[in-house]
Structure 1
């Protein structure tokens, strides 16, 4: 299957490169790109970045229950362990959430600039604990080369989420606006309500309030069995205000605050599993908030586009053991286990980022330069009993990304310097309580425009993952880990083509393919299988990603997204094995038809191979079919602004376990979803 898939995608790429391109206006480059729409998904053109954008329309059409579900259609992205907000994690190119911890620090997640989801919590999935209906846009940057403005040690990529604005509902004009969405899904009797209220009292002032409520009972798998620990109830809300002022509206100030809460009773402590197991059950209260304040100064000068972003992310998890739920209760081991599952957790990250984007010319070279500084404090309450030592991590960073264009060539060097200081919350016997480390990292991206609409690109990037609070400890292993920086290098090569009137008059076609290879060494975050104190020697991953979008004047469209890859982990004794977190080989094809602005019908086919469960056991290939329809009724004034969406996920009710998921946590069976949105 995989060789034939590779031959098919290669042939498609070669066909596209042989086609003529039409001239078009574009803003290519590392920082600013042209976004083209052929099908349902927007693709970027003219950049060396592996970048995918999921916009507001696709967010609504996908009817996802979690953000992780929303972006697992991006090449190289894997949804780890389920469909609940606390259990599901995001893995990109084999890094990020894994089968043990919620994060390995190798992907970055930002909500309006606030850094979230960075803690290594044992047996708890993502900390991207929020509702997808709060967002207007999700951007996924894959790999290292585009990460230097967002953090250090990023190997898998960056997930950037932007919350909704009041102007999305008022059209940018003074007055009131908003939207109400109701949704129901048959599997798990899922119910959703999302309310947006927007107000612009005058030009230059806007306010938005969103309240979303999502409730789901336990899901059913394709064989009709109940998927334990899959029920949840999560109320979320967002408040946001923006003020624009000064000559030429050069100044703006935006304040946003979002909060999501889950109050779960008698649920497994282990979010990856479907039953209480050894740990037993707990009452768990999870509360996560993100607050941001951003000032922007964008006068009529190409040299100044200044942003100052102050953010605070706070997550609290409170536990209470449910008596009688653990089989170890009453044994000598139980008191130690009880310390673990009763230990509350809290993580706070405060960050200030100052950046400026400048456009200027030196000789024949045009520059698009982004430069900035970042100051961050991460504070974690001590939870040593649960393997989460407390302390503070202060970081200071400088970054510079300069896109230089000369003729058909674009060269983009990127640099980041970061200094880290970790201070333990509790005195450490016999070892230092304070640890400092710094690192210099960077990359170089090259692009060449062969002809209008056709270009090739490549990049090389090096980054260092500085020690983290989790590395604190008195053992020899902890002392070794906190004294070194984990290092990685990534090389990428690719080509892209875009054009119109390619196969038929009025059509548009964009295709992009890239190959990557990543090497990780001086490893501190992964251990040899079965040896908790022995770290791997190195990890190597490689793969090919492809994205394509085609649209015709008559409304027909097609989207293609695929990933083929593999990985190897090397032990210190010279033995090796398949990289335990490798992404599956996956291809997704969407065929759709738009009938004007009234109706949009689509059929999505997803095929995945080379899959494994969380224990490393091989899983068979699986093909899943999904149907979606969006209807915008017209004809009567009261129908204006109404959207009705209908979806069927896992149409054939396939019974399977998701890639890297616990073998007991099956994927949901057939699910029918209906939603109604009314704009006002």
Structure 2
């Protein structure tokens, strides 16, 4: 079924072979090789994972307003419904945010290990409500094979965010450090102030405070029209500390707390659109906070690297309906409207994850094994539009990377048991439901030893029922006895090397095919129906990432995705999978002059696009220019960074893929930022 895609991949493959290169990192249980290359992005090669890391340098260069806006440059990732934290959502390989909810439970989002942004709130975004400048990096794992240490039912992938630490500013040396960033964007008169204060009183203790304030008026589209409902003001706060102690500094204890708040007055209830509709307007306060306590024991032993992560995520979305703002006020159907628009949603998630990484040999086989368990309790307030209750889960998992010569075999298993309970009596229907499932995958890789390797994987996962699945309707009763299931197969190859085309150059390229099938569906209905579920969904695609860097400082980065999806109805008919990502190619040409100056030109072309209503959109091409200057000077310019960017240089007028037809993409935007470190 992947064969038709091969014809479409030829152009991307040829383009990437003519260019790209980058840096890499590792992921627990799927260890790779660190390769430093010349481009902007940290590409993780040497693993079977489809993994991309957006590092702190790129976070600053992109000057994004939201995390969703930051990672939409990753292959297969779609930013749904704009650049506001309240309305935007993240879709990976066709799963995640959609045209109804900000989440469909098929991607996972974690901040320092805390699970966030996973509630199905009608016409409200992914609830990944935070600021990009709080983070040192954002990691995107695509597909299922890398998800078994993070959750069940994950089809699209995992987004993992790691907050900044004092070490980033002091370099591990006792004393004070920090930075101050000011940023301005012309479109919407956006302003940002971000302050970091770091202190290490001694080598074994470090503390960090961050306060970021971001303000933006309504944006303008490429045709000069105002994009309604695109203004926001979000203060964010981060406090983090870490203590290291014991013999050989084997023990460490860290505590982090982050919070973002927005107080929006007289805005449409529906965050996906630009003007109020039948749901009217609301005053809405969105408050999201995460607290994480982590203990690590890492003695001088290959068998022990123990982490215990205790997290608490509290997310509160409180709305007050503005009387007279709905045209349906006074009609019989208005009660349902009011139930949505006057709801106070609150959901609290407490989670404990304990795992250990062990390195050992059994004969000729080397093992890198991560094993652990997870306890989670989610509590949700009861509202007419989102039933309340509790969701308790227990899981155990193991991922074992086994290497024998050039061959690496990585089996992964996860067993999870869940119990959900309604907050109210369901009048004869079951108030509780218990279920468990075993899921897992197998990844294979062969390293030819000359920089070339091939890999493949197969993964199976089960989406256990959630609180929303409890109910008294016939549809709810039918769904509660079904768990969604999916399998994903991937096949790919990669190459990395130096002195490939010229002396001192670096070249890295990775391409992979994937195919996913989802069945026993409970979260998607047939088009036009509220109660008849799809029979199954099939999606397939090709992803490519590559980078090339020369000794002169010239570099080229490439990222692309080609794909297609089909949704099958119970009557045997089928149609295009409504949430599948667009075909997309991204090319960046740049030049670095040591660490002083970095100039780049980014071109993004998207085809096979649709809006939220399923209507076809024309192809779009957007050009972005960026410059980073780090002057080598004494005085006030010492440790100063100046960034300048122009997004949508030619003022293209277009609607983003899967976005509401009324929510156009921002037009030309000039951005400038000044960062002073001390």
How far off its partner does 1:639 sit? 1.3
Assess, with a 3 A threshold, how the Cα gap between structure 1 residues 28 and 239 changes in structure 2: closer, same or farther. Answer: closer
Task: Tell me, yes or no, if the aligned pair for 1:30 and 1:48 is still in contact at 8 Å.
Answer: no
Partners of 2:204 and 2:290 in 1: CA distance: 24
How far off its partner does 1:337 sit? 1.5
How far off its partner does 1:332 sit? 2.2
Higher alpha-carbon deviation: 48-57 or 318-327:
318-327
Counterpart for residue 10 of structure 1? 13
Deviations 1:144-168 (A, max 9, x none): 0000000000000000000000010
Partners of 1:268 and 1:27 in 2: CA distance: 43
Partners of 2:407 and 2:674 in 1: CA distance: 48
Partners of 1:33 and 1:214 in 2: CA distance: 37
Partners of 1:502 and 1:51 in 2: CA distance: 24
Counterpart for residue 429 of structure 1? 427
How far off its partner does 1:634 sit? 2.0
RMSD (CA atoms): 1.7
Assess, with a 3 A threshold, how the Cα gap between structure 1 residues 408 and 283 changes in structure 2: closer, same or farther. Answer: same
Counterpart for residue 63 of structure 1? 63
Partners of 1:4 and 1:430 in 2: CA distance: 56
How far off its partner does 1:474 sit? 0.7
Counterpart for residue 228 of structure 1? 228
Gaps of 5+ in 1: none
Counterpart for residue 259 of structure 1? 259
Partners of 1:524 and 1:40 in 2: CA distance: 40
Task: Tell me, yes or no, if the aligned pair for 1:411 and 1:446 is still in contact at 8 Å.
Answer: yes
Report the secondary structure of 1:264's partner residue. strand
Tell me if 1:660 matches 2:663. Answer: no
Matched length: 672
Task: Tell me, yes or no, if the aligned pair for 2:147 and 2:158 is still in contact at 8 Å.
Answer: yes
Partners of 1:404 and 1:229 in 2: CA distance: 52
Counterpart for residue 142 of structure 1? 142
Counterpart for residue 361 of structure 1? 361
Which residue of 539, 544, 547 maps to 1:546? 544
Partners of 1:259 and 1:635 in 2: CA distance: 36
1:368-517 alignment, distance < 5 Å: 368-383=368-383, 385-386=384-385, 388-517=386-515
Tell me if 1:84 matches 2:84. Answer: yes
Counterpart for residue 565 of structure 1? 563
Deviations 1:160-195 (A, max 9, x none): 000000010011100000000000000000000000
Tell me if 1:207 matches 2:207. Answer: yes
Task: Tell me, yes or no, if the aligned pair for 1:584 and 1:608 is still in contact at 8 Å.
Answer: yes
Gaps of 5+ in 2: none
Counterpart for residue 192 of structure 1? 192
Counterpart for residue 175 of structure 2? 175
Partners of 2:42 and 2:525 in 1: CA distance: 39
How far off its partner does 1:12 sit? 5.2
How far off its partner does 1:335 sit? 2.9
How far off its partner does 1:343 sit? 1.4
Counterpart for residue 33 of structure 1? 32
Partners of 1:560 and 1:239 in 2: CA distance: 36
Assess, with a 3 A threshold, how the Cα gap between structure 1 residues 374 and 29 changes in structure 2: closer, same or farther. Answer: closer
Report the secondary structure of 1:663's partner residue. coil
How far off its partner does 1:14 sit? 7.1
Partners of 1:196 and 1:93 in 2: CA distance: 35
Counterpart for residue 672 of structure 1? 670
Deviations 1:303-347 (A, max 9, x none): 000000000111011111112211112222223311221111101
Partners of 2:278 and 2:619 in 1: CA distance: 31
Deviations 1:592-626 (A, max 9, x none): 00111111000000000000000000000010000
Partners of 1:55 and 1:177 in 2: CA distance: 20
Task: Tell me, yes or no, if the aligned pair for 1:174 and 1:201 is still in contact at 8 Å.
Answer: yes
Partners of 1:35 and 1:659 in 2: CA distance: 34
How far off its partner does 1:28 sit? 9.9
Deviations 1:236-295 (A, max 9, x none): 000000000111110000000000000000000000010111101000000000000000
1:203-352 alignment, distance < 5 Å: 203-352=203-352
Partners of 2:393 and 2:209 in 1: CA distance: 33
Deviations 1:465-499 (A, max 9, x none): 00001111011211121212100000000000000
1:576-615 alignment, distance < 5 Å: 576-615=574-613
Report the secondary structure of 2:475's partner residue. helix
Task: Tell me, yes or no, if the aligned pair for 1:373 and 1:397 is still in contact at 8 Å.
Answer: yes
Task: Tell me, yes or no, if the aligned pair for 1:16 and 1:497 is still in contact at 8 Å.
Answer: no
How far off its partner does 1:636 sit? 2.3
TM-score by length of 1: 0.97
TM-score by length of 2: 0.97
How far off its partner does 1:296 sit? 0.1
How far off its partner does 1:430 sit? 1.1
Partners of 2:568 and 2:27 in 1: CA distance: 39
Report the secondary structure of 2:44's partner residue. strand
Partners of 1:210 and 1:412 in 2: CA distance: 39
